[in-house]
């Protein structure tokens, strides 16, 4: 059963960058769905804020168009859409100027939750934070939501943290990593810490290795120039993949509360070993049937930025010593698929005539598409053919288990926004966590830059460069197939 929906408290949510891509694609549709589901109370107000000249009606029109563009028609109920639009207003404001702030202040009501979503470039985080305080718009209970990228390296992340810390307490800052808002990611914690079955086996004694794959079929396309300045390590690994790794590797927190969970994640990041050059593969896609090469996409034939990365990582602590974490992410791969696979060791002795190294028990946590979990176990093949063994999946796909209700599982963004309103920071990154992640990432990047490492080309629609396959082959293991 899907949990009963409990409406959140009335709130004023200001979306800086309310006219931008993220607001139109994710934030506004997400808020509409929360209203349609009865979670967003009718007393809530959403205020778009950006430099574009627009009145309330203009913002409502833009929002209506966004809902129609980014949501299936079946998800839009005429009356609900009107109700949602009636809660919207717009204020023209320049993050770096003085105009509009007094008007914005007039929109903020007393006695409701105040949240400010910074859906703008990170260079505007500091100026907005400063003005919210200087103009007396945000008080000590207000919450601010900031988007990725949170810094480009440790120094810039520290500078961003400091620019926010001048005006807001850490308990008011919600750093979004939308991977943490995914249903299965939270289910990973539920499965680990809500059952007796898995936790005793969740260590290097029983787990052979772990694979984390985030594969995309799209190229860098229109955002080539931006992407080329960051690359897969900064864009995906430093945040999303490290967060997933933390949730798998962390010790059980004493409580499911924000700081208890984030303290344990931080310990994992601090226990990460530097990646050895031999344990790292970087790649760029070649020209192929789906489009130009990476180098053409970014318009720089000499670019050395990676759009594919695979690594063998080690978490140096008692629980995980000796168990490798293999991670990979890339663009223009054979399927869009994100999953975590916990591959358990073989039984110590086989009474059946089967070879070792089969790794029959794999717990797969699927993030997209088709969120769900699967556990493979060995059973006897049915029939009179003697004791022949096969590995079969115990499938826990949400779509099957929950039927139509699975369609109601909120998108990561809407869940996270509701957590902001509830004041629950558990699924948001704390400042020290982000800095620790950069402190691990920076030397890895510095090392490949110092070596003048050139990414390997790979075919579009493949699983990445051959070197990435070798990363596991040489350890006597293989990647799981990237399947849609």
Give buried/exposed letters for 340-376 (b at 16+ CB in 10 A, else e): bbbbbbeeeeeeeeeeeeebbbbbbbbbbeebbbbbb
Helix (DSSP H) and strand (DSSP E) numbers for the chain: 17, 15
Cβ closest to ligand NAP, residue 52 vs residue 374: 52
Least spacing, CB of residue 24 vs ligand NAP, in Å: 8
Cβ closest to ligand NAP, residue 103 vs residue 400: 103
20 and 118 in contact (C-beta within 8 Å)? no
Q: In the block, which residue shows the tokens 């943290």?
A: 161
What gap in Å lies between CA 353 and CA 370, rounded to an integer? 36
Q: In the block, which residue shows the tokens 């307490």?
A: 169
Tokens standing for 471? 């990363």
Least spacing, CB of residue 126 vs ligand NAP, in Å: 12
Least spacing, CB of residue 16 vs ligand NAP, in Å: 6
The verdict on whether residue 23 carries a ligand-binding annotation is yes
Least spacing, CB of residue 401 vs ligand NAP, in Å: 30
Peptide bond into 369 cis (omega under 30): yes
371 and 339 in contact (C-beta within 8 Å)? no
Active-site entry in 135, 240, 359, 453:
240
Instruction: Mark whether 240 is an active-site residue.
Output: yes
The verdict on whether residue 133 carries a ligand-binding annotation is no
The verdict on whether residue 22 carries a ligand-binding annotation is yes
The verdict on whether residue 24 carries a ligand-binding annotation is yes
Cβ closest to ligand NAP, residue 329 vs residue 463: 329
Cβ closest to ligand NAP, residue 167 vs residue 312: 167
The verdict on whether residue 26 carries a ligand-binding annotation is no
Cα–Cα nearest to 251, from 238, 267, 239: 267
If you compute the radius of gyration of the chain from its CA atoms, what whole number of angstroms results?
24
Least spacing, CB of residue 18 vs ligand NAP, in Å: 6
The verdict on whether residue 138 carries a ligand-binding annotation is no
Cβ closest to ligand NAP, residue 211 vs residue 305: 305
Least spacing, CB of residue 25 vs ligand NAP, in Å: 6
What gap in Å lies between CA 370 and CA 135, rounded to an integer? 46
Cβ closest to ligand NAP, residue 88 vs residue 343: 88
CA distances to 35, 40, 49, 71, 405 from 32, rounded to whole Å, are 5, 8, 18, 10, 18
329 and 308 in contact (C-beta within 8 Å)? yes
Q: Give the list of residues 6+ apart from residue 470 with CB closer than 8 angstroms, or none.
A: none
The verdict on whether residue 182 carries a ligand-binding annotation is yes
Residues near ligand NAP, by CB under 6 A:
16-23, 25, 50-52, 93-96, 119-122, 124, 147-149
What gap in Å lies between CA 185 and CA 99, rounded to an integer? 42
Which residue of this chain has its Cβ atom nearest to ligand NAP in the complex? 20
In total, the chain counts a number of residues equal to 484
Which residues define the annotated binding site for substrate? 178, 182, 216, 235, 331
Which residues define the annotated binding site? 17-24, 51, 148, 178, 182, 216, 235, 331
Which residues define the annotated binding site for NADP(+)? 17-24, 51, 148
Q: Which residues are catalytic?
A: 240
């Amino acid at each position: 059963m899907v949990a009963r929906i409990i409406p959140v408290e009335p709130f004023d949510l200001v979306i800086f960058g309310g006219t931008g891509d993220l607001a139109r694609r994710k934030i506004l549709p997400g808020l509409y769905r929360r209203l349609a589901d009865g979670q967003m109370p009718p007393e809530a107000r959403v205020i778009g804020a950006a430099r574009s000249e627009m009145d309330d009606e203009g913002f409502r029109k833009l929002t209506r168009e966004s809902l129609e563009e980014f949501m299936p028609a079946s998800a839009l109920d005429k009356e609900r859409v009107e109700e949602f639009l009636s809660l919207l207003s717009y204020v023209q404001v320049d993050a770096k100027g003085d105009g509009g702030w007094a008007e914005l202040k007039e929109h903020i009501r007393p006695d409701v939750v105040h949240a400010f979503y910074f859906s703008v470039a990170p260079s505007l985080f500091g100026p907005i934070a400063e003005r919210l305080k200087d103009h007396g718009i945000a008080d000590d209970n207000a919450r601010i939501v900031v988007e990725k990228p949170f810094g480009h390296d440790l120094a810039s992340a520290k500078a961003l943290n400091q620019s926010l810390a001048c005006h807001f307490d850490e308990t008011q800052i919600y750093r979004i990593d939308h991977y943490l808002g995914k249903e299965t990611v939270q289910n990973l914690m539920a499965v680990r810490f809500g059952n007796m079955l898995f936790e005793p086996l969740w260590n290097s004694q029983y787990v052979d290795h772990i694979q984390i794959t985030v594969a995309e079929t799209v190229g860098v396309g229109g955002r080539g120039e931006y992407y080329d300045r960051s690359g897969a390590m900064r864009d995906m690994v430093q945040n999303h993949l490290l967060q997933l790794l933390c949730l798998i590797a962390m010790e059980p927190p004493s409580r499911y509360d924000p700081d208890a969970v984030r303290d344990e994640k931080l310990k994992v990041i601090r226990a990460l070993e530097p990646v050895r050059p031999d344990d790292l593969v970087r790649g760029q896609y070649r020209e192929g049937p789906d489009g130009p090469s990476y180098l053409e996409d970014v318009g720089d034939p000499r670019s050395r930025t990676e759009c594919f990365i695979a690594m063998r990582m080690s978490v140096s602590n008692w629980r995980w010593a000796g168990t490798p974490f293999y991670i990979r992410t890339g663009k223009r791969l054979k399927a869009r698929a994100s999953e975590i696979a916990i591959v358990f060791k073989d039984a110590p002795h086989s009474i059946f005539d089967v070879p070792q190294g089969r790794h029959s028990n794999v717990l797969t946590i699927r993030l997209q598409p088709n969120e769900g979990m699967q556990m493979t176990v060995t059973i006897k093949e049915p029939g009179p053919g003697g004791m022949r063994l096969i590995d079969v999946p115990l499938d826990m796909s949400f779509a099957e288990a929950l039927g139509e209700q699975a369609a109601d599982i909120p998108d990561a963004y809407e869940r996270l926004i509701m957590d902001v309103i509830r004041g629950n920071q558990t699924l948001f990154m704390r400042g020290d966590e982000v800095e620790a992640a950069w402190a691990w990432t920076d030397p890895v990047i510095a090392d490949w830059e110092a070596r003048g490492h050139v990414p390997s080309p790979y075919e579009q629609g493949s699983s990445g460069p051959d070197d990435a396959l070798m990363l596991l082959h040489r350890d006597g293991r293989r990647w799981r197939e990237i399947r849609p």
